Amino acid sequence: MSGQLPEALDTVAALLGRLPGVGKRSALRLAFHLLERPREEAVQLADALSALHGAVGYCTRCGHLSTGELCEICLDPRRDRHTLCVVETVPDLLAIEATGEFGGLYHVLHGVLSPLRGVGPGQLRLASLVDRVGSGGFSEVILATSISVEGEATAAYVQRLIHRTPQLMLSRIASGVPQGSDLEFIDQGTLGRALRARQTL
Amino acid sequence: MSGQLPEALDTVAALLGRLPGVGKRSALRLAFHLLERPREEAVQLADALSALHGAVGYCTRCGHLSTGELCEICLDPRRDRHTLCVVETVPDLLAIEATGEFGGLYHVLHGVLSPLRGVGPGQLRLASLVDRVGSGGFSEVILATSISVEGEATAAYVQRLIHRTPQLMLSRIASGVPQGSDLEFIDQGTLGRALRARQTL
């Protein structure tokens, strides 16, 4: 046993290590922690994990979390039905909601294009996006994928996919120096972008 | 739902957030990740967690991981039975084993004294340590708890607890500047310790 760990512990560590941001060492630390704590804690987590997918579903229209067929945002009569915001994930949607700056509808892609991780257009909710936009009614589609290589590539892909009409405006969220930042400590790429995208006053 | 999350997702996030080093935000990120991945992944982890405590036990003598009553180290006839190394946790034991510098036996306390977290002497494997040392046979007990406020307090407590005889040497692992470090970048406390514990050449 010295050096080599019991299989059950190794298995837990290996599975935890697959989670994003959890390294091999910290996965093992977590597994040991769970082993040291009362059995109930591991079982509680196990039960919650087993129940997760059954209890939470997605809105069939926009891809947001939902307990019914359509989510609360899609069903809300006060939302502006002419503006659509395309995001990568539900947490991104929630972040935009938290700003209070957007009152339209969403479309969650559930990922970004990432050839390295084997994510192609077929894995994203793109067909339903094209359908939604194609059926008309939207005056603006905001591409709010992340400002990263993958997010930019996905935005560019969506841009080509959507059939543009004179009635439809396509936009992309702004990229630049974040609020409260010292220019001195901002990375070159961001600062360069902020300069190129400068706005006349 | 906008703003407020489904209960099942919240539960998973709350339980993951209890793990050491997992903050509230990253716990939510992990919960979302598990929700986005195929259901099988969450279930696999759930099963592994449920099985953990049943499949892994501890050596009744030293507290190391074991599938039987006694662990492989306690049963190994080649180990030096006169030297005992007291450690906080199994990972600490494994770290010492990995150095190849120690060939004796271990005693795992399964924690440190921590009044703030409600860990008193009764929660640690101290009675069995006193029994083991008291039954004689050891010529040295090495206190290898961590070099931290709690680790030092625990070492001091164990030191008072163990009945000293002329035949028994008590020692503490050395503390000082770690290998490969620039003095310039070492914290004051460590550097101060290294000076006070200087060794004549």
User: In this structure, what DSSP letter does residue A115 have?
Assistant: G
pLDDT tens digits, one per residue of A88-120: 999 899 999 988 899 999 999 999 999 998 999
Q: pLDDT at position A192, please?
A: 86
Strands A169-172 and A140-143: parallel
**Residue B34 corresponds to which amino acid?**
L
pLDDT tens digits, one per residue of A29-73: 999 999 988 999 999 999 999 999 988 889 999 999 998 899 999
Q: pLDDT at position B163, please?
A: 76
pTM of the model: 0.71
Q: pLDDT at position B164, please?
A: 78
Collapsed DSSP state (helix, strand, coil) of residue B58: strand
Q: What residues have CB less than 8 Å from A72, skipping those under 6 apart?
A: A66, B1, B2
Q: Do B42 and A49 touch (CB under 8 A)?
A: yes
pLDDT tens digits, one per residue of A144-180: 999 999 999 999 999 999 977 888 999 999 988 888 8
User: In this structure, what DSSP letter does residue B107 have?
Assistant: E
CB B107 within 8 A of CB B63: yes
Q: pLDDT at position A189, please?
A: 86
Evaluate whether ipTM surpasses 0.95: no
Question: pLDDT-based confidence at A2, cuts 50/70/90?
Answer: very low
Q: How far is residue B90's CA from residue B107's CA, in Å, rounded to a whole number?
A: 9
* 3-state percent helix, strand, coil for chain A, nearest multiple of 5: 45, 10, 40
Nearest CB to B56; choose among A8, A49, A98: A8
Which of these, B104, B167, B159, B103, lies nearest to B139 by C-alpha position?
B167
Q: How far is residue B73's CA from residue B129's CA, in Å, rounded to a whole number?
A: 16
Bridge partner list, A107: A86
Scored b (16 or more CB within 10 A) or e, B137-167 reads ebeebbbbbbbeebbbebbebbeeebeeeee
| Chain B residues inside the 8 Å CB shell of A65 | 1, 5-6, 9
Q: pLDDT at position B177, please?
A: 87
Checking B86-90 for CB contacts under 8 A at 24+ apart, the result is B86/B129, B86/B141, B86/B142, B86/B143, B86/B144, B86/B145, B86/B158, B87/B144, B87/B145, B88/B112, B88/B145, B88/B146, B88/B151, B88/B154, B89/A32, B89/A36, B90/A32, B90/B63, B90/B64, B90/B65
**B95 in contact with A, Cβ within 8 Å:** no
Q: pLDDT at position A164, please?
A: 78
Collapsed DSSP state (helix, strand, coil) of residue A14: helix
Shortest Cα distance from A121 to chain B (angstroms)?
16
Q: How far is residue B36's CA from residue A109's CA, in Å, rounded to a whole number?
A: 11
pLDDT in tens, chain B (201 residues): 344 788 899 999 999 999 999 999 899 999 999 998 899 999 999 999 999 998 888 999 999 999 889 999 999 999 999 999 999 999 899 999 988 999 999 999 999 999 998 999 999 999 999 999 999 899 999 999 999 999 999 999 999 999 778 889 999 999 888 888 888 888 888 888 888 888 877
What are the Cα distances from residue B83, in Å, to B124, B131, B137, B139? 21, 15, 9, 6
Q: pLDDT at position B136, please?
A: 81
B28 by Cβ neighbours in 10 Å (0-12 / 13-18 / 19+) ranks as buried
Which of these, B132, B5, B106, B164, lies nearest to A55 by C-alpha position?
B5
Q: pLDDT at position B78, please?
A: 96
Q: pLDDT at position B130, please?
A: 95
Checking A186-190 for CB contacts under 8 A at 24+ apart, the result is none
Strand ranges for A43-173 from DSSP E: 57-58, 65-66, 83-87, 105-108, 140-143, 169-172
- Chain A neighbours among B 48-87 (CB < 8 Å)? 48-56, 64-67, 71-73
A and B: number of Cβ contacts within 8 A: 162
pLDDT above 60 (res A1): no
Bridge partner list, B108: B87
Q: Do B49 and A43 touch (CB under 8 A)?
A: yes
**B20 in contact with A, Cβ within 8 Å:** yes
Q: pLDDT at position B2, please?
A: 40
For chain B, list the domains and their CATH numbers. 7-55 (1.10.8.420), 58-172 (3.40.1360.10)
- Chain A neighbours among B 102-121 (CB < 8 Å)? 110-111
| Chain A residues inside the 8 Å CB shell of B3 | 94, 97-98
Which of these, A96, A194, A189, A176, lies nearest to A142 by C-alpha position?
A96
